[in-house]
Structure 1
Amino acid sequence: MISALLRVALRRAPSRVRHVEPVARDMATGLVADVYAQVERDFGLLAPPISLHSPSPEVMAASWLLLRETLLVDGAVDRGWKEAVAAAVSEANSCPYCVEVHGATARGLGRNGDHDLASLFAGDISSDHSAELIGVAATFEYLNRMVNVFLPASPLPPGASPAVSARANRVLGRLLLPRRAVLPQQSAITESPPSWAATGHVGAAFTRARTAFDAAGERSVPAPVREVVTAVLADWNGEPPGLSRSWVDRPVSALNEKQRPAARLALLTAMASYQVDDTVIGELRHQGTDDAELIDMTAWASFVAASCRAEQFQRLFGGNTRR
């Protein structure tokens, strides 16, 4: 019964994506089809946090690159430890969907109750361990924001009882247990990787992904909006701004009326993604913003915020690292 419930939930997952319409599995072509096939092969299912990006194929490919290279590919850190980091970051970001999925997987791998990020980084760890753990944390700083904007609070069907949900999560945790992911051939990289991951496949993945997210911002986010968001994030300490959205008004007021809806969405996505609602999206739809542009805007903002958080993690946890 529980397995059947999960199959139904996963089959219907694309219809539960909010604000945009993902490319249907049987309609996918080109890059979208390639990414869908790789997600199903390496992750075990077509994960909605990746497929929701499909209106913007290059951004979807970059999002999958981050998830695959940090969470799935074998490295210095075991998968259970990485899943625990994913769950802890997701809990801090108020992303119940990701807590449910990755908490269940962590428990399936024997990691129970590790929802404090500091404890997961505690102890004398190598630079390779640090880079991989910060890579996972940064990836979920990115994905949590996109999931909060575009997905419901749970991967399970609405209305499931607590008992059924608990049993379904145990089954889900088993479904997502590791499958071996082989490192792909890396393309030539001309940019410097982030300082917290100077070498290795994690640094390469973030460098390549950054190119795609920067391109998304350039084509879909007006330059003055990018400048405002970048300036606000430069002074951000990573703490949520609270339940009120009044903090957005001051930076947005510096822009012209046409640019304000994009700035409001980008800032909320970056710093309080749980506050993005139909009104925020509706302002952009009224201007004619399409699905691809919505994904570009939110993905760019999410990645800039995730990059800021990665640097903060390095300052917080890098002191334990040994070379």
Structure 2
Amino acid sequence: MTGQPQPQPQPQAQAATPRTPYRYTDPTPPQEATGTAAELYAQMAVDFGIPEPAPFVVLSSAPELFAPAWALMRESLLAGPGSRTGKKVAALGVSLANRCPFCVDAHTLLLHATGERDLADTVTGGGVPETVQHARVLAWAQASRTPGAPELAQVPFAAADAAGYIGTVLAFHFINRIASALLHDELMPEGVRPQDVLRSPAGEALAQAMRRTPEPGASLRFLPPTPQSDPNQPSNAPSWAAGTPVAPAYEALRAAASMGAGLLSEEDQALVRGTVDGWDGAHPPLHWPELPGADRPGARLAVLAALAPYRITEEDVAAWLTPPHTDHCLVHLVAYGAFLAVERVERALAAAWTGVPAAGRTRP
């Protein structure tokens, strides 16, 4: 010992933990998935061109929701009837109406992937597409958030394409809410353009997938049995999707999402349903008397998920996500609220569809 000060060990620099896309939950990484989940991811990689789409990965914490949500999107947007470009315009219109930046970025990228760069930039810039058909689809999809909107009175697609278009709109009314509630806003880093992404190997895989039409119905094998698949049971399948794979996919998601009601008391369920049933499609004001207070955190989360998921805060989640609640429960509660809004939209679209004579359902 020399009596001189000894060098002190320096703390090692800690590597920054990369931020994941997920808020509030910690889903199992897709590369660790096994069984049905692994098969679903494999189908997503081939049919969607994206092996780990975050809005579906976040649902994997609740496997009952994971497969039906994917099936509804796949069977309507990717494999369903109707123009693929037209349905992407519809999905982009819904995402704009719902103020979901993540999904707006995603559908802008999808349109770029199919060579529709000008169309994508026009719509995201607030313009009107040059093609009359695309303009009508965009207006219809954006108005779908508002029950009774005049744009819903005459549908902008052929009757044979209803399952594709209506299914796509409903799929993204659900996915928008999941993304806004449970994901961070950005899909692409700031300054990165869609064309930059598409030059990468992942972008090339996406573009190739967007040029293919998957086999209709191939996702239905992942779904649990529903009344739609049992001839001895009554079915609530929507008439606009009758006879197509979209019908059992929609019914399966409705059944799975309704399970979240069990996380609330009957009184809170009634409050949430009443609030959503009275919704006029508007984005709620900052002063929102109908929003349940912090003393009813479950009802508050469900109402926010339905009508303004982008306003869910860490405090809202922390107030409810206490033992015995888990990530699985949180995803189910958000899905419950989200699908109540989907059902509100579906009733309005179905009423308009039923009320329009068949001749009025065709393209001009």
Same fold (TM over 0.5): yes
Amino acid of the residue matched to residue 30 of structure 1?
G
After superposition, the C-alpha distances for 1:198-230 in whole angstroms (9 at most, x for unaligned) are 332222211122222223433x34333222212
After superposition, the C-alpha distances for 1:2-22 in whole angstroms (9 at most, x for unaligned) are xxxxxxxxxx99822111011
State the Cα distance separating 1:245 from its structure 2 match.
4.2
Matching of residues 1-323 of structure 1 within 5 Å: 15-45=20-50, 46-73=52-79, 75-109=80-114, 111=116, 112=119, 113=123, 114=129, 116-118=138-140, 125-157=157-189, 160-161=190-191, 164-168=192-196, 171=199, 172=203, 174=207, 177-182=210-215, 183-184=217-218, 188-189=229-230, 190=233, 191-218=235-262, 220-249=263-292, 257=295, 260-286=296-322, 288-316=324-352, 322=358
Q: Assess, with a 3 A threshold, how the Cα gap between structure 1 residues 103 and 243 changes in structure 2: closer, same or farther.
A: farther
Question: Is the CA contact 2:112–2:194 (under 8 Å) kept in the aligned structure 1?
Answer: no
Paired residues, what number? 299
Task: Quote the residue 2:149 is aligned against.
Answer: none
Question: Is the CA contact 1:266–1:297 (under 8 Å) kept in the aligned structure 2?
Answer: yes
After superposition, the C-alpha distances for 1:160-219 in whole angstroms (9 at most, x for unaligned) are 32xx3353355557366243321225652442212443332222211122222223433x
| SS of match in other structure, 2:250 | helix
Question: Is the CA contact 2:170–2:342 (under 8 Å) kept in the aligned structure 1?
Answer: yes
| SS of match in other structure, 2:73 | helix
Question: Is the CA contact 1:130–1:321 (under 8 Å) kept in the aligned structure 2?
Answer: no
Separation (CA, whole Å) in 2 of partners of 1:107 and 1:322 = 33
Identity %: 26
| SS of match in other structure, 1:248 | coil
Structure 2 portions without partners, runs of 5+? 1-16, 124-128, 130-134, 143-151, 360-364
Question: Is the CA contact 1:138–1:309 (under 8 Å) kept in the aligned structure 2?
Answer: yes
Larger radius of gyration: 2
Question: Is the CA contact 1:70–1:202 (under 8 Å) kept in the aligned structure 2?
Answer: yes
Instruction: Answer 1 or 2: which has greater helix percent.
Output: 1
Structure 1 portions without partners, runs of 5+? 1-11
Question: Is the CA contact 1:262–1:284 (under 8 Å) kept in the aligned structure 2?
Answer: yes
State the Cα distance separating 1:142 from its structure 2 match.
0.3
- TM-score, scaled relative to structure 1: 0.82
- TM-score, scaled relative to structure 2: 0.73
State the Cα distance separating 1:123 from its structure 2 match.
6.5
Amino acid of the residue matched to residue 168 of structure 1?
D
State the Cα distance separating 1:132 from its structure 2 match.
2.0
Separation (CA, whole Å) in 1 of partners of 2:43 and 2:287 = 40
